[in-house]
Amino acid sequence: MSHNTRYPEGSAVKEQIAGRHRRGTTWQILFQVSTIIGIIALIALLYNITNQAFGIVAVQNKVEPDSLVLAVEEARLLSAENIITSEDDTALAAGIANDANSIGFFGYAYYQENSDLLKLLAVDGVQPTAESVANGEYALIRPLYLYTTADILAQNQAANIFLNYYLTYVNEEIESVGYFPADDASLNEARAAWVSASGFALQPGQWANINPDGIAGSLRIVGSSTLLPLNQRMAEQITAAGFAANVNLQTVGSTAGLQAFCEAGTADIAAASRKITPAEYEACRENGRRPIEIRVGTDALTIVTSSSNSFVEDISLEQLSELFTTATSWSDVDARWPETAVARYIPGADSGTLDFFTQTVFPIDLADMPKETLVDILAANISVGLGRRLEREQRFFDDSFVFEDPALFAEVCASEEPAEGCTLPARDQSNVYDLIVQEVVAPDVVAAYSLVDSLFARSAIEAEAAEKYPNAELSFRSWLTADFLVSPQSSTPEFAGVRTAVLGSLWVVGITILFSFPIGVGAAIYLEEYAADNRLNRIIQTNINNLAGVPSIIYGMLGLAIFVRSLEPFTSGAMFGIGDGTTANGRTILSAGLTLGLLILPVIIIASQEAIRAVPNSLRQAGMALGATKWQTIWAHVLPSALPGILTGTILAVSRAIGETAPLVVVGASTLIFVDPDGPFSKFTTLPIQIYQWTARPQAEFRNIAAAAILVLLIMLISLNASAILLRNRYARRA
């Protein structure tokens, strides 16, 4: 019977219930699987972003900060009064010996050679001896190096055998020359470097003493005068052992020697009384030479006066800094000393000895240098054009100019669009230092490693960096920092930030909400509470539902046609006379906000309709029964009850708007902009646009800052949503 067909009984009921359970279980499983897939996708996204936003980086400076400081301090030394310079340490020793008011410095071997004519001073109470050098008590201890390459050793047998002999017998000869042997670890490391470069098949730690007898050819050693006595001794000894090659020794200073070795390629071996600098190392690599560092000994830099000097026995590093720069007489440093003028004997500008002395006696960091000195460094290392632009942005001094012409600057300040530097106070010391770091030091992230590799493969990273980027410094870096949030866009990823993009996003979202929320809620109230059920309103409702699914790029084209072009006088601000002249084409924040407002308007209308529809009719009837008008009932009862649902839909809509890029690209969002937006008629960019632009760049570091920017976008989105949720819950409790 039909009755039994519609209402099954007995076993049919059980089968129907079992079928419902099966379908319910199936849908439950599908829902759980979908949820799990969504969670996995979210975790994968967060993993990928976090993995790129943090990790070890290898940073290599274009110019080392220490070299900038060294150049300034050496210039002070070389420009002081009564300065006598020479690359010949023997000439310096002779000059000091013949001048009762003299003071100077050079290697220990030259003091020993002239000890009967010179007086050796203790430094901070410590004399340079084998014991004070070995235990590190003497303040002016420095290593001595030879530099060559594997290619040179492979091509020049004479150079190869000479270095083998050098490393075999150097410790037997070095003390008689006047220097001190390197420790066993340093000597073994130097021998291992030779073994690796020369290609001899030796076991680790094994050493082969090659007989130099009969080896012909020639080799050229250029560089430090400090190493000359030791190099001469080793050349004499190997020649006595039958070495038939010509050993050409030339002393031009460590700096000039490394330049001849790295840039000119005219030396087989460079002798240096200091370590090779990163800039010199890179110069070698650019010319196809990869330097091998071989430490051959240790020197104690001696501070000496004439043997006729009777008033100085001990001197401190602080007194040395005064004696070689600001002091004009001995008494300027110590009142017990005579008022006679100080005669300063120092090596020349190409000397590694001068470099070592300056770095030891004047240990100042670039960040601690006075503002005036930093400005001089900046002026010496950037172009006039760049300096003029920086000075127009903000002056360096209130009462003078460094790059700008005063008359031209006055003209710029009197124009309709004066430069920011016309009103801003002068830059402070930290600001100038930051400019030097960005424009001169120019740190470059030559390699960036993911967070996972940084945590679990650090040794492999260190090995790779040592091979590929020997001058780079490894450090753990968070690309998401406070500076990243407050810095503007930059073409250099190390200094790029999201300030401009964040401000642009906030402006655009603010206008979007102000435009779409009241119109969307108003439309929903009309359609649900006032609109009659006729064909016109049904067509409107259908179109609203369809518009919610229209691709966002279509809205971008609509915004371009209406807001950018048709309403250009309004959206550019020209109608009000307040727009920026550079944005008079309508591609402004206002156009972007109105376009996104149209994009999310259907979503807000539909969500608001559903929320209003869910309010019980009994509330409406009760309000009107008490004498309230329809609008009073809607305002006092319907809207407060529907507001949590309305805000939920608005949250979803705004979340979509924050992440949009396609409509903004069409209406004219800038991909590279350095000026912060200051109103609705400004040029702009947003975080999604900025992320898109960075991911399109070829440099790997831009992907790192793009990941950091995504985290900023997520945090901003969560913060805005959280605020809206708190507001929604507050109204829900009131209701």
pLDDT at 1 over 80: no
Q: pLDDT exceeding 70 applies to what percent of the chain? A: 97
Mean pLDDT computed over 114-133: 94
**Topology adopted by domain 141-299:** D-Maltodextrin-Binding Protein; domain 2 (3.40.190)
pLDDT band of 146, cuts 50, 70, 90: very high
Q: How confident is the model at residue 735 (pLDDT cuts 50, 70, 90)?
A: low
**pLDDT over threshold 50, residue 583:** no
Question: 387-425 pLDDT, tens per residue?
Answer: 999 999 999 999 999 999 999 999 989 888 888 889 899
297 near 311, Cβ under 8 Å?
no
Asked if the model's pLDDT at residue 733 lies above 70, the reply is no
b/e sequence 149-179, b meaning 16+ C-beta within 10 Å = bbebbeebebbbbbbbbbbbbbeebbeebbb
Evaluate the CA torsion angle 328, 331, 334, 335 in order and state its sign. negative
Q: Would you call 697 exposed, middle or buried from its count of C-beta atoms within 10 A (0-12, 13-18, 19+)? A: middle
Tokens of 73: 């301090």
Residue in this structure with the two tokens 């945090």, named with its chain if needed: 715
Q: What is the mean pLDDT of the chain?
A: 89
| C-alpha to C-alpha distance for 79 and 606, rounded to whole angstroms | 80
Q: Are 269 and 159 in contact (CB under 8 A)?
A: yes
Given a cut of 60, whether residue 160 has pLDDT beyond it is yes
CB 119 within 8 A of CB 328: no
- The pLDDT assigned to 391 comes to 92
Structure tokens at 450: 């993911």
* Most confident stretch, 82-96, 578-592, 614-628: 82-96
Report CA-CA distances (Å) from 129 to 242, 261, 301, 629. Answer: 35, 33, 11, 105
Sign of the torsion formed by the C-alpha atoms of 400, 405, 410 and 415: negative
pTM of the model: 0.78
Which of 491 and 278 is assigned the larger pLDDT? 278
**Would you kindly state where each structural domain of the chain is located, as residue ranges?**
2-55, 83-129+302-363, 141-299, 365-434, 503-685
Please check whether residue 222 is in contact with residue 262, taking contact to mean a CB–CB distance below 8 angstroms: no
Q: Looking at the domain 503-685, which fold is it?
A: MetI-like fold (1.10.3720)
User: Average pLDDT in the 689-701 region?
Assistant: 86
Distance CA 237, CA 253 (A): 24
